[in-house]
């Protein structure tokens, strides 16, 4: 008996169905309702097929941020999804916010929003004795967790650095600006900065003169440099000398 997959229907109410014309649709057997020896009559469901070519990411946002979310939806702001797991990390950029729920979860005070995500897959074959089967492995899977970053407001006249370029010294945030070299030693000067926004990946600094665009700063390892500065200062205070000179300079 030959079983044909159903024709693809472009239903805008189904998140996984919003594909551009001409794209390949691969149906995967999600559940099998029959087994060898079972009697089947006309009209019985044999299996459930799914199309994972396009998924919807469900984001959870605090209801107090609904105004910013509406602004991002109206302006079609860019959305970034970050997937982490099994020691790997992938960032998917240039996504777009598709819709926002019309109700707020009373228990958590959160609002759901949705972002379409185009999936990708790899095919592989399993060859056995007198058998040859093709399987599809989807990269993104339903239930997989990610973090969404939604751009909703431009920050003008600011400086953007990797998050590892900024260190926290008690209540002060600082970067390390390159002063020059003495022999084989590179000299860094600690500069306090004002952080106005931060994500897992970047920090946004106010362009208020503490440092300036184009300044040569350490773009990674700021916390290690700060720890070295503090250790050397303690050594100097104890009369050990070496390591750090001229206050907040690191050699």
- Report which of 123, 145, 127, 146 is spatially closest to residue 136, judged by C-alpha positions: 123
Segment of 56-65, 133-142, 228-237 carrying the highest mean pLDDT: 56-65
Residue 122 has pLDDT above 50, yes or no: yes
Domain regions of the chain by residue span:
15-150, 158-250
Instruction: Write the DSSP symbol of residue 183.
Output: T
pLDDT digits (tens, 9 = 90+) for 170-220: 888 999 988 887 777 778 888 899 999 888 888 999 988 888 888 888 888
Q: How does 206-242 read in b/e, with b if 16+ C-beta sit within 10 Å?
A: bbeebbeeeeebbeeebeebbebbeebeeeeeeeeee
Q: In whole angstroms, what is the distance from residue 62 CA to residue 147 CA?
A: 14
- Report which of 153, 149, 154, 155 is spatially closest to residue 196, judged by C-alpha positions: 155
Q: For the domain 158-250, what is the CATH code?
A: 2.40.420
pLDDT digits (tens, 9 = 90+) for 10-67: 554 443 334 444 566 788 888 999 998 999 888 888 888 888 988 999 999 999 889 9
> The pTM is what?
0.64
pLDDT confidence bin for 245, thresholds 50/70/90? very low
Residue 213 DSSP SS3? coil
């Amino acid at each position: 008996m030959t079983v044909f997959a159903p024709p693809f229907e472009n239903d805008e109410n189904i998140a996984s169905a919003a594909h551009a014309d001409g794209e390949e649709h691969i149906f995967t057997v999600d559940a099998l309702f029959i087994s060898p020896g079972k009697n089947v009559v006309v009209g019985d469901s044999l299996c459930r097929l799914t199309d994972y070519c396009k998924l919807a990411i469900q984001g959870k946002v605090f209801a107090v941020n609904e105004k910013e979310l509406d602004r991002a939806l109206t302006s079609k702001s860019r959305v970034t999804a970050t997937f982490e797991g099994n020691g790997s990390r992938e960032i998917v950029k240039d996504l777009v916010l598709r819709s926002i729920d019309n109700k707020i979860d009373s228990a958590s005070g959160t609002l759901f929003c949705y972002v379409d995500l185009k999936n990708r897959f790899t095919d592989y074959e399993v060859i056995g004795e007198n058998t040859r089967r093709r399987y599809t492995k989807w990269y993104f899977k339903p239930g997989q967790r990610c973090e969404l970053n939604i751009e909703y407001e431009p920050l003008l006249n600011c400086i953007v650095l990797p998050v590892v370029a900024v260190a926290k010294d008690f209540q002060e945030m600082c970067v390390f600006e390159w002063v020059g070299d003495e022999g084989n030693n590179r000299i860094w000067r600690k500069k306090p900065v004002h952080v106005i926004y931060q994500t897992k990946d970047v920090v946004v600094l106010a362009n208020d003169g503490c440092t300036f665009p184009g300044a040569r700063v350490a773009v990674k390892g700021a916390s290690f440099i700060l720890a070295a500065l503090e250790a050397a200062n303690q050594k100097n205070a104890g009369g050990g000398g070496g390591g750090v000179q001229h206050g907040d300079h690191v050699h």
